[in-house]
Chain A
Amino acid sequence: MAQPYLRVEKLVKRFGPFTALSGVDLDVWPGEVHALLGDNGAGKSTLIKTLSGVHQPTEGQIYIEGKPVTFRTPRDAAAAGIGTVYQDLALNPLMSVTRNFFMGRELKGMFGMLKMDEMDKVAHDEMLKIGIDISDPGQAVGTMSGGQRQTLAIARAIHFGAKVLILDEPTSALGQKQQMEVLRTIKTVRERGDIAIIFITHNEIHSKLIADRFTFLSLGEVIGAGTKEELAGDDIRRLMAGGAEIEDLAQMLA
């Protein structure tokens, strides 16, 4: 682990006159959860969209295992091992777990025939590995809980070769218990040791529970970064609010 799997240097992204990111640095290490925090509009989604090939950087450079790379399309990024799980998860509710798992990347034999048994088994096993036992891989995704869907999308990204797993607010739409389920899933993935996880959240508690490293964005700039040990608990709260003191926030409500 001499170098980070993914490194971002002085990344700038402008939309016309608007600077969404102004010189962001980021290191992501395998086997670590990297929490990306910041207020609404700070540029978190813009940053991960640039990492997954949706946007091209205006300036700056992305490195994978030390080598400079350019992603023209999401496909390029996926091929380099960037697996992004967007908030809408890119799932089809009417289709079965297995059919969703392999959507677009089906295992096929003669005449394009699906190897359904093998696919069922892979989907089931991959989800079991990160902690959810789906009893029927033929179950429609629409009938699954939010946490289970999140797990399906994560398992799919890992199975198809993700080395960096990017999760954009994976817990935001879930109830308490399911949030914990997703956090446990993230933990299981971290324990494999070979996958780096970028975890975007607005939830201070969640980030403290599982993150090893933090980066705080505010108005397109990194206003703080470091490992769990380097940052004291109070710092995290202050930085999450974009540098404001919690007393100031209390003032705003008064």
Chain B
Amino acid sequence: MTGRSEADRLKQESTLMRMVRRPEAGAFIVMIVVIVAITLASDFKAFNALGLKNNMAIIAQFGIIATGAALLMIAGEFDLSIGSMIGFAGMSMAMMLKWGLPFGLGEATPLSAFLITLAMTLTFGWIIGTIVVRSGLSSFIVTLAFLFFLRGLTEVCFRLINQSTQISGLPDFKETSWFADLFGGEVFGWFYDLWFLLGGNAVTRGSRAGEQLVTGFDARLLWWIIIAGLAYFILSRTQIGNWIFATGDNKEAARANGVPVNQVKIGLFMTTAFCATIFAACQVFDTNTADAAKGNLKELEAIAIAVVGGTLMTGGFGSVIGVVFGAVTFGLVANAVFYIPWIDGSFYRVFVGVVLLAAVFANERIRKRITGGI
């Protein structure tokens, strides 16, 4: 015997090498490049008081739905119904707030409208999940059916009850209801107060010149932090997280070891429905409007962000932190047109296409490395 064993062949890596090989590394580098480029090209306008608020608003929107989509993808399934679910949830809440609760149950409050809507969307999530695990059909096709079904249902409900496919001019509930304020109000006011105290964040022109300009971030930023934080905790630190990975990696192996594979999947379809509902609630209570077209194509953006964040299309591998980086990247680029006047807004989609393709190649390399090249 030479005294060498298999274990000796695994080289101890430095901390730096470990970081570089993490699945989030690519997403992190892309994010840094985008932040620097947009900061310079916008002459720092993208990150002044108002720019930061607006950017964080869209980043949080992306982040909320991409987190749910990523967890589901790690478990090996897709959800193409996210966008239509957003439209449905927004319609449902706005409709109840305008026309009252169904079955003549009287006036709706933001709380009751939200809870009833959530009950419906979670039920849809449960139905989708149950169909997928029971039938063994690809979730791609099942959720594609729900993409059409829910969008159509949303439009039909709008026309039948409301005559028009939009609702606007609802009362400003966030002024009167603490619950509506949770979704449509502002958070982290202290940040902007501090910024003002330090001499920035002030109105520069007009009669209000010198007063504080921005008073807080949109509430969706807090929702994103909560959802991403919870998802990170569950995925990397809990038993359910281990089940999610196991389900997406090799379903049969997971099942043989007693992992409740079907329940995991159904639960995650309900999670994406939950994320879509939070997304819609923030939109409705922020703008006091709803529209049958809301959420259109958001499912594809959510999946793209998850992939750019290092989530494998084939399941079993991914990272919530990577999704955070992906959401920041996508949000900044989607908003870039507002800060960089000479840029064409459609460059956003060009960018998404290029980055997505690059990410898929990068992820495939990671997968090959881990599985030993198969």
Contact = CB atoms under 8 A, between A and B. Distances in A.
Contacts of A74: 256
Nearest to A106: B239
Interface string A122-154: 000000000011111001101101011000000
Interface stretch (A15-23, A97-105, A203-211, A219-227): A97-105
Given A134-B7, A136-B10, A142-B372, A103 B242 contact: yes
Interface residues of A, number: 35
B239 A103 contact: no
Interface residues of B, number: 32
A238 interface: no
B237 A113 contact: yes
Interface in B14-39: none
A133 B7 contact: yes
A93 interface: yes
A142 B370 contact: yes
A241 interface: no
A148 B6 CA distance: 8
B193 interface: no
The prevalent SS among residues of A at the interface is: loop
A76 B178 CA distance: 53
Nearest to A142: B371
B7 A103 contact: no
Contacts of B8: 135
Contact of B246 (A104, A135, A142): A104
A244 interface: no
A69 interface: no
A92 B238 contact: no
A113 B238 contact: yes
Interface string B233-263: 0000111111101100110111011110000
Contacts, number: 96
Contacts of A135: 7-8, 10, 12
B5 interface: yes
A143 B240 contact: no
B45 interface: no
A41 to B, nearest CB: 24
Interface in A40-78: 74-75
B316 interface: yes
B7 A90 contact: no
B367 A112 contact: no
Q: Which of B238, B246, B250 has the most CB of A within 10 A?
A: B250
Contacts of B10: 135-136, 139
Interface string B220-241: 0000000000000000011111
A158 to B, nearest CB: 15
A166 to B, nearest CB: 13
A132 B253 contact: no
Contacts of B312: 94
Contact of B249 (A75, A94, A106): A94
Contacts of A132: 5-7
A112 B240 contact: yes
B114 interface: no
Contacts of B253: 88-92, 103
26 contacts: A74-B256, A75-B258, A88-B252, A94-B249, A94-B312, A95-B242, A102-B242, A103-B253, A103-B254, A104-B257, A105-B258, A106-B239, A106-B242, A108-B238, A108-B239, A112-B239, A113-B237, A114-B238, A116-B237, A133-B5, A136-B10, A142-B370, A142-B372, A143-B372, A145-B6, A147-B6
Given A91-B253, A99-B246, 9 more contacts: A86-B256, A88-B252, A94-B312, A95-B246, A95-B316, A103-B246, A104-B243, A133-B7, A142-B370
Q: Which 5 A-B pairs have the closest CB atoms?
A: A104-B258, A104-B257, A92-B249, A142-B371, A90-B253
